[in-house]
């Protein structure tokens, strides 16, 4: 049966993958669920054919694996697969829809990313996440200190202004308190249960 397979359409997931095998005449030879290890074995044992997947999480990894075994990979955008789902949405219907979309002569496909390209994208997204978290923390600090009359402009540069204001002898948060005293009104860390403190 494997020698007659023209297209392997794979509906990707984390542990259980739905694989729809289509013959050269367009008939569905089988449509069954496979484990991660079984899918990897299938890609290695199956003679070269078209392997179609929906562009989603982990799709580029599986595309690279299929290409390493000599398969012709077609990565279909998710928006282009949806119109081919004939009945109620489930894994079997999705796998068949991927196969049908991949067979369309005018279908547009997504280019498979290399490991290096994906690595750069991950580093960029991680940097963006850290910048957003830093901005959230700065804005939270500005909001808390504004309750005590310490107001600073937006942006990381304002942290120096707040630091100088806290270190000043006239700071309401530092009057009558020794080193590393807990600030009134700033409360306790819900996670660690320790008072938030700043040197005066």
Burial of 7 (0-12, 13-18, 19+ CB in 10 A): buried
- One domain for residues 67 and 98: yes
Task: List all residues 6 or more positions away from 174 whose beta carbon is below 8 Å from its beta carbon.
Answer: 166, 167, 168, 200
* pLDDT tens track for 151-200: 888 888 878 887 887 777 655 555 544 444 444 444 333 333 333 334 44
* pLDDT tens track for 43-63: 999 999 999 999 998 999 999
Between 156 and 129, the more confident residue is: 129
Between 146 and 178, the more confident residue is: 146
* CATH number where 26 lies: 3.30.420.40
Q: At what angle do helices 36-45 and 59-68 cross, to 10 degrees?
A: 30
- One domain for residues 72 and 155: no
Instruction: Please report the pLDDT score of residue 172 as a whole number.
Output: 55
Average confidence (pLDDT) over 80-86: 90
The tally of domains found in the chain comes to: 2
Picking from 112, 132, 164, the residue at the C-terminal end of a domain is 112
Range of the domain at 168: 114-200
Picking from 92, 112, 132, the residue at the C-terminal end of a domain is 112
- One domain for residues 158 and 168: yes
- One domain for residues 77 and 121: no
> Does the reported pTM lie above 0.75?
no
Average confidence (pLDDT) over 142-150: 84
Instruction: Please report the pLDDT score of residue 37 as a whole number.
Output: 94
- One domain for residues 84 and 137: no
In this predicted structure, the answer to whether residue 1 has a pLDDT above a threshold of 50 is: no
- One domain for residues 27 and 98: yes
- One domain for residues 9 and 92: yes
């Amino acid at each position: 049966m494997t020698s007659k397979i023209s297209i392997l359409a794979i509906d990707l997931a984390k542990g259980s993958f739905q694989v729809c095998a289509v013959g050269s005449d367009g008939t569905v030879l089988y449509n069954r669920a496979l484990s991660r290890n079984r899918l990897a074995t299938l890609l290695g044992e199956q003679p070269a054919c078209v392997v179609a997947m929906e562009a989603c999480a982990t799709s580029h990894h599986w595309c690279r694996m299929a290409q390493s075994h000599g398969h012709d990979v077609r990565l279909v955008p998710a928006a282009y697969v949806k119109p081919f789902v004939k009945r109620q949405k489930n894994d079997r219907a999705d796998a068949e829809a991927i196969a049908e979309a991949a067979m369309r002569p005018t279908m547009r496909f997504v280019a498979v990313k290399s490991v290096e390209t994906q690595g750069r994208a991950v580093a960029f997204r991680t940097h963006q996440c850290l910048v957003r978290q830093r901005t959230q923390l700065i804005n939270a600090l500005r909001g808390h200190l504004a309750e005590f009359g310490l107001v600073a402009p937006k942006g990381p540069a304002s942290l120096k202004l707040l630091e100088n204001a806290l270190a000043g002898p006239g700071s309401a948060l530092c009057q009558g308190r020794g080193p590393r005293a807990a600030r009134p009104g700033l409360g306790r860390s819900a996670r660690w249960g320790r008072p938030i403190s700043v040197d005066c």
